[in-house]
Structure 1
Amino acid sequence: MKYFVLNRGDETSLKLSHKFHKLANQYNMILDEKSPDIAVSIGGDGTMLYAFHKFVQNLDHISFVGIHTGHLGFYADWKPNEIEQLLSLMVEKGNSEQIIVEYPIVQLEIKTIKDTRIYYALNEITIKGIHATLVAQLDINDDQFEMFRGDGICISTPSGSTAYNKGLGGGIIHPALPSIQITEIASINNRVFRTLGSPIILPKHHHCDIYPKAKQKILLSVDHLQFEHDDIISIRSSVSHKKVRFARYRPFPFWNRVKDAFVGNESN
């Protein structure tokens, strides 16, 4: 089995990364940064986002697994003291017997005056005005839906619905539902600009087009990556045909993750 490890860079994650390499060498696993079978994230959800974008062009051939060393690891199945158990199962199950869980991701097609660019996000994409409020027309399936004015728009995946989207008042969606969620960020409603005022959930094969006001300076965030634009013509968001693959070596249901992250185990 070929593997690669990404860590958060703190002392705990660095030590755990060194330990993982040492144990992997004992199991004759092969370290491969270019085309690993599995990418191991040691840290928090931010580390998993880095891992996802490092291998975003190889999603069909790579699976991810997370070891949690931070305060909240929604994508991480394993704790630091379980690293020996994880490696033992990785070797035992190999590439053929491991259980693969696939989550939908969001695709963004940006048309500018110069070119067209494609981005993918594991959690969410946000579109915000830099020096002024964002002004944009929203179309759904090529029909005009609303005129938006406000701080911005968040477009999240089902797994990302528990992140920034949740803080904006969006709903939590199970990753078994291939969809995207469009949530407003501080919209302004008056006689000129009217918005729905609640999150919109679009299923697979639907799309949303956003047409910002011409020459508007926009900050585009794709997970942890940020880009500034002043020449965007249109932004199309949809459920990607690509999916992210997670290697599961033991059951960890989605709603258990949600409960552990936000509710806890204490009873009143």
Structure 2
Amino acid sequence: MRQLKVAVIHSHVEKSLKAADTLYKLLTARGHEINREQPDIVISVGGDGTLLSAFHLYNHKLDKVRFLGVHTGHLGFYTDWRDYELEELVETLCTNQEKSVSYPLLDVRIKYRNGKPDKHFLALNESTIKRGNRTMVADIYIKDELFERFRGDGLSVSTPTGSTAYNKSVGGAVLHPSINAFQLAEIASLNNRVFRTLGSPIVVAQQEWVEIKLQDSTDYLVTIDQFNIQQDHIDSVHYRIADERIHFASYRHMHFWHRVRDAFIGDL
């Protein structure tokens, strides 16, 4: 039997606390070590938001850890297990039948005008740029070539797995996670006889990148997954597919389109 070092990251709702406590007992009873510093597997107990938090806790160890999700509510896009299946989950950890599935991540680099060092982030779902209560004006470059001047409420940049989140609500397409690309979607763009943008989401290939150059202002809000980052005097935000990938311990992997149908359509 394999002994693993396991970190359990959970939300603080009652159902998740109860499931995490049960999981601790089952894991230690089978000889696994609870280790939040150097885990082999990170188990998220809660919802997709909890998994996102777990990802950001360990995104500096992506070459060493695998993730596994336990959902304590409705079906999530990053969770293969339910809270009533914990005994079966722990039992499968002891087998050698594990497969690994990996998903692309978004590399985000923020550049400033005032000599402040660049900031670098990884996003599992998405990043957005907005500007307070005023119209945002930005020049969008694809592979260093000007594509369009955008005017509107903001821009959303998402990974394939994040395409079912905010991206979908602003009219973006749902991308299968096997597609190694990212998506740029406009948020309430201003289009008339004077101002014109493409007005449609675009899918950017792995070998390409997007740079969004902003007018000088102190009221930009950049999001990285669920985190809000107030930014002053941004020069530009640079997006590309990251070199790193997130790896999930896949003992049984639900078909992506089944997840989409279950989340948005339900039983036919």
Query: For this structure pair, what is the TM-score category when the shorter chain's length is used for normalisation?
Result: over 0.9
Unaligned stretches of 5+ in structure 1?
none
- Please tell me whether the aligned partners of residues 138 and 148 of structure 1 are also in contact (alpha carbons under 8 angstroms): yes
Q: Which moved more, 1:252-261 or 1:217-226?
A: 252-261
Q: Would you say 1:55 and 2:66 are equivalent positions?
A: no
Q: Which amino acid aligns with 1:255?
A: W
| Of 89, 92, 117, the match for 2:95 | 92
Q: Note the C-alpha offset of 1:135.
A: 1.0
- Please tell me whether the aligned partners of residues 102 and 244 of structure 1 are also in contact (alpha carbons under 8 angstroms): yes
Q: Would you say 1:64 and 2:67 are equivalent positions?
A: yes
Q: Note the C-alpha offset of 1:191.
A: 4.5
- Please tell me whether the aligned partners of residues 110 and 116 of structure 1 are also in contact (alpha carbons under 8 angstroms): yes
**Partner of residue 161, structure 2:** 159
Q: Provide TM-score, normalisation by structure 1.
A: 0.95
Q: Which amino acid aligns with 1:241?
A: D
**Partner of residue 107, structure 2:** 107
- Please tell me whether the aligned partners of residues 45 and 72 of structure 1 are also in contact (alpha carbons under 8 angstroms): no
Q: Which amino acid aligns with 1:119?
A: F
Question: Per-residue displacement from partner, 1:206-260 (whole Å, max 9, x unpaired)?
Answer: 0001001012420000001111112111111011111011111113121121122
Q: Which runs of 4+ in 1 moved over 6 A?
A: none
Q: Would you say 1:9 and 2:12 are equivalent positions?
A: yes
Q: Which amino acid aligns with 2:15?
A: T
Q: Which amino acid aligns with 1:154?
A: S
Equivalences for residues 77-226 of structure 1 within 5 A: 77-93=80-96, 97-112=97-112, 113=114, 114-226=116-228
Q: In structure 2, the residue corresponding to 1:56 is in which secondary structure?
A: coil
**Partner of residue 41, structure 1:** 44
**Partner of residue 229, structure 2:** 227
- Please tell me whether the aligned partners of residues 65 and 246 of structure 1 are also in contact (alpha carbons under 8 angstroms): yes
**Partner of residue 239, structure 2:** 237
- Please tell me whether the aligned partners of residues 71 and 82 of structure 2 are also in contact (alpha carbons under 8 angstroms): yes
Question: Per-residue displacement from partner, 1:58-111 (whole Å, max 9, x unpaired)?
Answer: 111111111111234111101111110011001223xxx420000001111111
Rounded to whole Å, the distance in 1 between the matches of 2:253 and 2:129 is 36
- Please tell me whether the aligned partners of residues 2 and 36 of structure 1 are also in contact (alpha carbons under 8 angstroms): yes
Q: Would you say 1:76 and 2:103 are equivalent positions?
A: no
Rounded to whole Å, the distance in 2 between the matches of 1:205 and 1:192 is 33
Q: CA RMSD in A?
A: 1.1
Q: Which moved more, 1:251-260 or 1:143-152?
A: 251-260
Rounded to whole Å, the distance in 2 between the matches of 1:86 and 1:99 is 14
Q: Which amino acid aligns with 1:187?
A: S
Rounded to whole Å, the distance in 2 between the matches of 1:207 and 1:192 is 28
Q: In structure 1, the residue corresponding to 2:85 is in which secondary structure?
A: helix
Q: Percent identity?
A: 43
Shift of the 216–200 alpha-carbon distance from structure 1 to 2, 3 Å rule, reads farther
Q: Note the C-alpha offset of 1:263.
A: 1.9
Aligned length: 263
Rounded to whole Å, the distance in 2 between the matches of 1:77 and 1:68 is 8
- Please tell me whether the aligned partners of residues 13 and 69 of structure 1 are also in contact (alpha carbons under 8 angstroms): yes
Unaligned stretches of 5+ in structure 2?
none
Rounded to whole Å, the distance in 1 between the matches of 2:253 and 2:36 is 28
